[in-house]
Amino acid sequence: MNMAMMRLRREDPRVVGSFRLHRRLGAGGMGVVYLGSDRRGQRVALKVIRPDLAEDQEFRSRFAREVSAARRIRGGCTARLVAADLEADRPWFATQYVPGPSLHDKVAEEGPLAASDVAAVGAALSEGLVAVHEAGVVHRDLKPSNILLSPKGPRIIDFGIAWATGASTLTHVGTAVGSPGFLAPEQVRGAAVTPATDVFALGATLAYASMGDSPFGHGSSEVMLYRVVHEEAQLHGVPDALAPLLRACLAKDPEERPSTLQLSLRLKEIAAREAQGGVPEARPPAPRAAEQDRPTGRLTQSYGDRAEQQRTQRRTQPGTPVPRTGGNRTGASRTGGGSAPRPAQRSGTGRPGPRSGTGGRPAPRTNGTGAGGTKGSGSGKRLRPANPRLLRQRLFVFVVVTLFVALAIALAQGCQGPS
């Protein structure tokens, strides 16, 4: 249905029910849609059935189904029903007016939408279809011209051929109801409609929004219906982020299509990712210190090794004297007992130089023979810092022993008496 505003024609009514009509919004196979308002100024989209169809009971029934469907659906993605009169000479009903162009007009005037916009529109429509299907209604004619892009989000309109879940799509034998190119294969075959029928139509609609063209091309109704049933959809212009999901929506078998809830969640993820530039969420960088502590081709140092290395570096900073006894160190580059302090030697891997001349880790401390001789005989072994707790214990023992010795001497002298 073309939703461009036009002036009222001579044959158009000026008042319907309690609504005054201002403009034509469009015309479809069932009737004409007008822009109207009530006494309070509330604007509505008012659909009036065509005069030549008002006497046709089949069209009256179809019109009544649209009103019934609008009353049953509770969701933000559809236009709210305001009023209706099914017994009038020309039955009509009014819904909340939705400002904004149709998806068809938007793409026709400005070209295909960006992947993020297509995903965002699709996510909102999928969520709206969840509410439609929960009411037991299948739209059966979802297409770009039946989707309005309002400032508050897309809205689904025109439930003129909506039907209860499981109903047949045939009005007459061999005649499918709907729009070629957006009908599901089961509608063409005359099989029962299900929520998956709307999923197929939504997939074709989003493909149109991405490419600016129907995924089944152009041609007569017969050609289009044949392609829908027997040929695969052409999605060459669909962005890579959307193509796999839309192809799943356009599966010939309804059981292979995603549900509206699954479709909504997946499209929300795609919309969020594409809005950020189409790149995966950035992970926080690894700490630089961890990279510095992990030499290439070597196992990570243990906590004890790193602590020992740090203590060695603190003790060997330039300007800090290192105690020596004049001996040399086996496997080290330093000879003699020179007095100039030097920083600790490092191997090619960035670790402290070997103490024992073998391996890349510091040699363990021993109480006996060192690398260059016996203890205290020029081994160059560094003095370990004193333990304050151990010093206090030794001082306490020394004081206690001294007191006991002094007391024992005093007692001994007292027992001998004066000579």
Instruction: Report the half-sphere exposure of 234 (CA within 13 A, side-chain side).
Output: 12
Rounded Cα distance between 305 and 362, Å, is 8
* 20 within 8 A of 14, measured Cβ to Cβ: yes
Count the Cβ atoms, other than its own, within 10 Å of residue 207: 28
- 273-278 contact pairs (CB < 8 A, 24+): 273/241, 274/114, 274/115, 274/116, 274/119, 274/239, 274/241, 275/116, 278/115, 278/241
Rounded Cα distance between 245 and 260, Å, is 12
Q: Which residues pair with 48 in a beta bridge?
A: 32, 92
Asked if residue 152 belongs to a known ligand binding site, the reply is: no
Sign of the CA dihedral with 320 first, then 326, 329, and 332 last: positive
The answer for 202, left when phi > 0, alpha when psi is -120 to 50, beta otherwise, is alpha
* 234 within 8 A of 215, measured Cβ to Cβ: yes
Instruction: Report the half-sphere exposure of 366 (CA within 13 A, side-chain side).
Output: 14
Token pair belonging to 124: 């909102």
Give the CA angle between residues 117, 263, 140 to the nearest 5°: 95
Tell me how far apart the terminal alpha carbons of the chain are, to the nearest angstrom: 138
Active site (annotated) includes residue 141: yes
DSSP string, 234-276: --TTS-TTTHHHHHHHT-SSGGGSPPHHHHHHHHHHHHHHHHT
Rounded Cα distance between 181 and 261, Å, is 24
* 124 within 8 A of 153, measured Cβ to Cβ: yes
User: Annotated catalytic residue: which of 141, 198, 253, 305?
Assistant: 141
- Residues recognised as catalytic: 141
Residue list for the binding site for ATP: 47
Residue list for the binding site: 47
